[in-house]
Amino acid sequence: MDPEGPIRLAVSACLLGKPVRWDGGHKRDPLLAGMLAGLLVGALEYAEVCPEVAAGLGTPRPPIRLSGNPGRYRALGAEDPSLDPSEALRLQGRRAAAEMEEDWIDGAVLKSGSPSCGIRGVTVYGPRGGIRGRGGSGLFAAELMAARPELPMIDEIGLNDPPRREHFFGRVVAGRRWRCLLGGGTDSAADFAALAAFHQAHRLTLLSHGVYAGALWKALFAGRKAMGAREAAEYGRAFQQALGRKPTRRRHGWVLRRLAQAAFPAMERRRGDRLRKAVEAYASGKTPRSTPLLMLREHFEGHPHPLAEGQTYLAPHPLELLGAVQTAGI
Ligand code: SF4
């Protein structure tokens, strides 16, 4: 697998404009369609999923909704509660989890609010039809999340929110790098050394998520010199969990200031002033992160420094910066 190759996403088919909804319609998301067909063609690949169609419910079909007590709900027919495709939808979730693993899917974009695809915040109804709560997860999505907790997932609402989009793609890209590393093996001292190098290269990225790389490493591997498949899987989960913490402008500002401090001694004064202003302009929300990041990257290319060496933070994937570039988000 190529770490620089296209990112592979699983996408709810109705978001792509496919007429697979219960009423024969779709919910095409213009941003997602634009990303896949235009702006990011070649950088993104996708596989469609529609669990309700895959479960054999057909199109058009009677609408379903989550029904029951929070935490113990099923997907039942909205008009005829004797219709109960819950187990079929759960089975689709488990199947998709295995297939996505095999197909090296890097993340999933699923339809919000759906009793099948909704990641969270799905309306749950009581037996008499009244709303019981809005904290449900679609049954397909719930199984997928349970089987693949490390797989980054987002709905189209999150995708249209620049900071959440950037966070999602950051996790997707880092997860891809991790799986590429695993492709090299997991059961030798050399593999363990490669893992240590991988972890070290994400030190500043982890810091921007509020996680100290040294503490995480110690908690997982104190005293170890080699790892097996179990430890590798444990690390993958802990790594994605750490990246699941939302990075904030304050944390990014802190990382950028540390890098700038390391850069200043080898920098001509006027350039140093420009860098300082760019970092502070970002920290106060006036410019995107890409501005000081680019200045820092250029500087460290000519003037290597141990703090910056090999750091993924300084070389984000274009997808990671998409949100920030477009909207001056985090
Ligand atoms: S929300 Fe999911 S199950 Fe419903 S139509 Fe879209 S892809 Fe199919």
pTM greater than 0.85: yes
| Pocket lined around ligand 1, Cβ cut-off 6 Å | 12-14, 20-21, 50-52, 111, 114, 116-117
The pLDDT tens digits of the residues spanning 102-117 come to 898 999 999 999 999 9
Alpha-carbon gap, residue 37 to 28, rounded angstroms: 13
Please give the structure tokens belonging to residue 153.
């997932």
- Inside any domain, residue 99: yes
Q: Do 56 and 183 share a domain, yes or no?
A: no
Q: What's the domain range around 50?
A: 7-160
The pLDDT tens digits of the residues spanning 145-198 come to 999 998 999 999 999 998 899 899 999 999 988 888 877 555 666 788 889 999
Quote the pLDDT of residue 39: 59
Quote the pLDDT of residue 1: 61
Q: Do 172 and 218 share a domain, yes or no?
A: yes
CB 255: neighbour CB atoms within 10 A?
23
- Inside any domain, residue 270: yes
Work out the burial of residue 282: count CB atoms within 10 Å of its CB; fewer than 13 is exposed, 13-18 middle, 19 or more buried: buried
Beta strands in 78-214 (DSSP E): 107-110, 122-125, 131-136, 153-155
Domain count, the chain: 2
Of 115, 133, 160, the one marking the end of a domain is: 160
Residue 74 CA to ligand 1 center (angstroms) comes to 16
Q: Do 63 and 200 share a domain, yes or no?
A: no
Q: Do 125 and 184 share a domain, yes or no?
A: no
Alpha-carbon gap, residue 289 to 307, rounded angstroms: 19
Q: How confident is the prediction for the chain on average, in pLDDT?
A: 90
- Inside any domain, residue 14: yes
Q: Do 115 and 153 share a domain, yes or no?
A: yes
Q: Do 225 and 142 share a domain, yes or no?
A: no
Q: Residues 257-275: what's their mean pLDDT? A: 97
Please give the structure tokens belonging to residue 231.
């430890």
Quote the pLDDT of residue 159: 94
Alpha-carbon gap, residue 87 to 137, rounded angstroms: 15
CB 232: neighbour CB atoms within 10 A?
19
CB 93 within 8 A of CB 142: yes
Q: Do 228 and 192 share a domain, yes or no?
A: yes
Q: Do 141 and 176 share a domain, yes or no?
A: no
- pLDDT of residue 326 exceeding 50: no
H or E stretch covering 194: helix 189-201
State whether the Cα torsion 237-239-245-246 is positive or negative: negative
- Inside any domain, residue 2: no
Which residue's C-alpha comes closest to atom 5 of ligand 1?
Answer: 21
Alpha-carbon gap, residue 275 to 259, rounded angstroms: 10
Q: Do 144 and 192 share a domain, yes or no?
A: no
Pocket test for ligand 1, best of 9, 14, 89 (most atoms within 8 A of CB): 14
Alpha-carbon gap, residue 133 to 155, rounded angstroms: 19
Alpha-carbon gap, residue 329 to 271, rounded angstroms: 25
- Inside any domain, residue 220: yes
- Inside any domain, residue 288: yes
Pocket test for ligand 1, best of 16, 90, 114, 157 (most atoms within 8 A of CB): 114
- Inside any domain, residue 24: yes
- pLDDT of residue 3 exceeding 90: no
CB 308: neighbour CB atoms within 10 A?
20
Pocket test for ligand 1, best of 16, 18, 21 (most atoms within 8 A of CB): 21
Quote the pLDDT of residue 86: 98
Q: Do 148 and 257 share a domain, yes or no?
A: no
H or E stretch covering 177: helix 162-182
Q: Do 152 and 177 share a domain, yes or no?
A: no
Q: Do 153 and 175 share a domain, yes or no?
A: no
Alpha-carbon gap, residue 323 to 164, rounded angstroms: 8
Of 132, 160, 188, the one marking the end of a domain is: 160
Which residue's C-alpha comes closest to atom 4 of ligand 1?
Answer: 21
- Inside any domain, residue 120: yes
CB 96 within 8 A of CB 147: no
Please give the structure tokens belonging to residue 269.
């004064």
Single-letter amino acid, residue 304:
P
Of 143, 160, 177, the one marking the end of a domain is: 160
